[in-house]
Amino acid sequence: MTNIAFITGATSGFGRAAARRFAQDGWSLVLSGRRMERLIELKEELNNVPVHIIQLDVRDDQAVKTAVTELPAEFAQIKVLINNAGLALAPQSAEKVDLKDWHTMIDTNITGLVNVTHALLPTLIKTGAGSSVINIGSIAGEWPYPGSHVYGASKAFVKQFSYNLRCDLLGTGVRVTDIAPGMAETEFTLVRTKGDQQASDNLYKTTTPLSAEDIAEQMFYVATLPDHININRLEVMPTRQAWSPFAVDRD
């Protein structure tokens, strides 16, 4: 049986790197994202494997259901779902945030993830042993920091949802993993700051962050383990990133 991976948010960052890594090993791919021109470019690049692209906003549950229902037969038997679509917005303190930014993070990082998972669970269960749900969380789901507010809370949901899904899928052979990256140099900060290139450059300069390819390699590792092994959560940080002491308010 051909191995098929369904990757959301495949137009940039971890999702695009994952598409390239799985294609390198001959997997067929279903790639979704909101920017069709980038999906077309990626499909043309990955011409060594079968690729099906879908312009999709994961927040739209009906669109997600339709996309899954209408998968061509040769792409229908998904073995790995990579829930990568997500974003962070509003790095300022909570009281300064536009409420719409909170709603966008919740709708994408939580609602979008459950929409795609719910739509593909019957297929993954049918595929059985060796199939996987790989959710892209964040160290922010475990470790709080100023300006993380709803972003961190949404990634904490991803962590707990992954654990709970494992319980429900016991006996099906379907594995579930929460991969939680630390600092990684992608378009993440550009999106979070709404295009502030200087802010992005300042965050990553003079250190060595993770790359999208580093995380894609972890996704591939998790997806290709022997069927009887499940990595529940994989937290990955750069060697040069660690935790700070507790903050204290003083007179």
Q: Which of 176, 31, 149, 137 is nearest to 93 (CA)?
A: 149
Measured between alpha carbons, how far is residue 104 from residues 51, 108, 109, 125, 151 in Å?
29, 6, 8, 30, 10
| Dihedral sign of CA atoms 129, 130, 131, 137 in order | positive
Instruction: Look up 163 and say whether it is catalytic.
Output: no
Report the phi/psi class of residue 171: left, alpha or beta, with left for phi > 0 and alpha for psi in -120 to 50. left
Q: Which of 145, 151, 163, 221 is catalytic?
A: 151
Q: Are 14 and 136 in contact (CB under 8 A)?
A: yes
Q: DSSP characters for 56-99?
A: --TT-HHHHHHHHHT--GGG-S--EEEE--------S-GGGS-H
Q: Are 178 and 159 in contact (CB under 8 A)?
A: yes
Going 207 to 201 to 203 to 236, the CA torsion angle's sign is negative
Distance, CA of 220 to CA of 3 (rounded, Å): 12
Catalytic residues, by residue number, are 151
